[in-house]
Amino acid sequence: MDHPSQPSVRHFDHCPWLFTDQATEEQRAAQREVQRAVGGDTGIGERCYVAESAAVFPDRLRLGDDSYIAAHAYVTGELDTGSHCTLNPFTTVRGNVVLGQGVRIGAHTSLLGFNHSMAPDRPVFRQPLTSRGIRVGDDVWIGSHVIVVDGVTIGDHCVIGAGAVVTRSLPAWSVAAGNPARVLRDRREVRGTGTAEAGPAAAAAAAVSGIRPDDNRTPTTHPTPHPGPGTAAGDPEPAPHDRRAVQMAAAADAQAAAAAPGRQPDDSRTPTTHPTPHPEPGTAAGDPEPAPHDRRAVAADAEVADLPGIRPGGGRTPATRPAPDPRAATLAAFADTARDQAAGLLDRCWDGERYVDRPGAAPAVRAHCDAVEIADLLLGAAPEHLSAEEHIGRLSGLQDPKSGLVPEFGEPLPVADADGFIGEGAALYHVLCVGYALDLLGPGLPHPVRGLRDMTARQLIARLEALPWRTGAWGAGAWVDSLATAAHWNLRHDEGSDHGHGTPESLFGWLLTRTDPWTGMWGSPSAEEGRLQVVNGYYRLTRGSFAQFGLPVPYPERVVDAVLDHARDARHFGPGRENACNVLDVAHPLWLCTQQLGRGGTGYRSGEIREWAERQLITVLPRWQDGRGFGFGPGAAGPGPEPGLQGTEMWLAIVWYLADLLGRSGELGYRPRGIHRPEPARQGIAGLS
């Protein structure tokens, strides 16, 4: 059938990727009215399209830039998408669903982020609904006629074959198909070799995932793999300039699949360390409509609160009108809530004599320092349990006058190594936290760190060479952070005099000559943890050295490449897996490098950085617990998910860095001044600045 020269609205409904380039002004005005008429709490980005024939009745909708909802799609509940996401004709998205960047959903596919219980005590239609939600990562292609049930997480870069029924979570880079869906292979593998694909297909996949070929990434360290097999086909429209290359790569893969004898579905690749439990058989999705009397209860039970301190009808974007920045008011509301509750959460962690990280924990030096940091950040004063003079007296009295070290409560003074400085333990971090707490209170550390003052440049170089850069880059970076911070405090004591044996200069000289030019970092990744140790160690190392002394980091573009690559690792950044260390150790390096490379739209990979920061804020802010603050997060590191002083202090700083990456930190009304301060504590080192 021939179409008229000007596509109709019906044509755009079924082919919405044509709208931006081909619509008339009259059609654009009509589309704006369609978007304004969408009910619920709605925010729709730039260059989006919502088909007139689609049934879009959300409780909450966030549609990222350059995304569309095509003809006869059915959307209810809460849908949050990144940019370049597509819901093709007749798709169904219900319940609580979050999509990353560049997610393609084929026609007739259902994402059902809710479920019925099925206890035998009542009819199914009277059963309460549950909702664990569905989370889909970046650069995911879900074919036509796929069903994804509640509780599933689909990792970054996955491809799911047409007709699959996804009942279990899938790790990043999976190519999966079948009922139930099973992992067939890793998308990065070429059959028979296990190596990464290069060439035009890699460039096509890079473009689809939002990584531009002109980003000057180093191919050997950041290969972009090819798309999955043609069996996944169902999404008709990647971006126009990518379409042919992706189709050619998919066809080549389909031929390879047909030629590979004896290839059986294999889900053994699914990591056992981070599965999301799947729904019980028979309970998965497909309920067309909760009973009317259940709806309000379902909304209350399944609702993911927008932000702490935001009540329905207050401070939200009007539901009938999309706003260019639907979260513009939320940062200020969050900060107001945190300030209002700061005194109470500090009370919660004061046992009458000393500070504890959280109720039931033992008193700790760091807990006292975190309390000082939180009170300074939110209240502009010392915690009210003691006078400022009493805080100073207690913290100053913890420092051993001879060594300059601060042991943990109830523990002996750590024994220095042969070169005069310690190698591990709580006292290493106390150089940072006690020093900065006293800095916020006024006087700073009363004594220099003697071991560092007496260390020679030769001893320092020997220690640096012996650090576990290959197997424990985080520990190596943490040691450098402590040593460099001790140098900062010592320089304060030695202003105007010879400050020792050239230790700070030797430190920077060694670091600058040992930087990996491919990543801008120190240390090596591992198969078990990816770049976790390297990136986290980079944050600690540069925080105490380059950032603290106001010196430029080497190879900032390569650092951005490596950090963004790490931030896609679902082992550490999958839904529900982000702890404070891992997020801070991405946010701070990105922020530090943007200061050198330029901010806003002209900065290196600035769009990707902003998208990552926005996603993190959406995830982080609702985790504030009234009167309790933030938990550190899941995993073995840190104090765990229970809200406490450490988690609260770190996440408050993280929120500031994420907001500043978006150019919106001013909305918070606070700015870190302690350990996580953005400004250098000292400007330069003699001979290096």
- For residues 223 and 202, the answer to whether their CB atoms sit within 8 Å is yes
Q: Which residues contact 246 (CB under 8 A, 6 or more apart)?
A: 201, 204, 205, 208, 227, 238
- For residues 535 and 562, the answer to whether their CB atoms sit within 8 Å is yes
* Token duo for residue 378: 């939110």
- For residues 47 and 65, the answer to whether their CB atoms sit within 8 Å is yes
The SS3 assignment for 45 reads: coil
Catalytic, 116? Answer: yes
Q: Which residues are registered as beta bridge partners of 350?
A: 355
Place of tokens 């889900």: 267
Specify the amino acid at residue 574.
Answer: G
- Count CA atoms closer than 13 A to 78's CA, side-chain side: 17
DSSP letters spanning 117-147: ---TTS-GGGSPEE---EEE-SS-EE-TT-E
Q: What gap in Å lies between CA 412 and CA 686, rounded to an integer?
A: 36
- For residues 245 and 201, the answer to whether their CB atoms sit within 8 Å is yes
Q: Which residues contact 357 (CB under 8 A, 6 or more apart)?
A: 349, 364, 366, 367, 370, 639, 644, 645, 646
Q: At what angle do helices 365-379 and 645-661 cross, to 10 degrees?
A: 40
* 491 phi and psi angles, rounded to 5 deg: -65, -35
Cα 422 to Cα 227, 501, 589: the distances in Å are 50, 18, 26
Q: Which residues contact 25 (CB under 8 A, 6 or more apart)?
A: none
Q: Which residues contact 647 (CB under 8 A, 6 or more apart)?
A: 580, 629, 630, 631, 632, 633, 638, 639
DSSP letters spanning 402-459: TT---PPTTSPPPPP-TTSS--SSHHHHHHHHHHHHHHHHSS--SS--HHHHH--HHH
Q: What gap in Å lies between CA 584 and CA 574, rounded to an integer?
A: 15
Nearest of 465, 455, 513, 482 to residue 688 by alpha carbon:
513
- For residues 167 and 279, the answer to whether their CB atoms sit within 8 Å is yes
Put residue 84 in one of left, alpha, beta given phi > 0 → left and psi -120 to 50 → alpha.
left
Which of the residues 72, 84, 116, 391 is marked catalytic?
A: 116
Q: How far apart are the first and last CA of the chain?
A: 70
Q: Catalytic residues, which ones?
A: 116
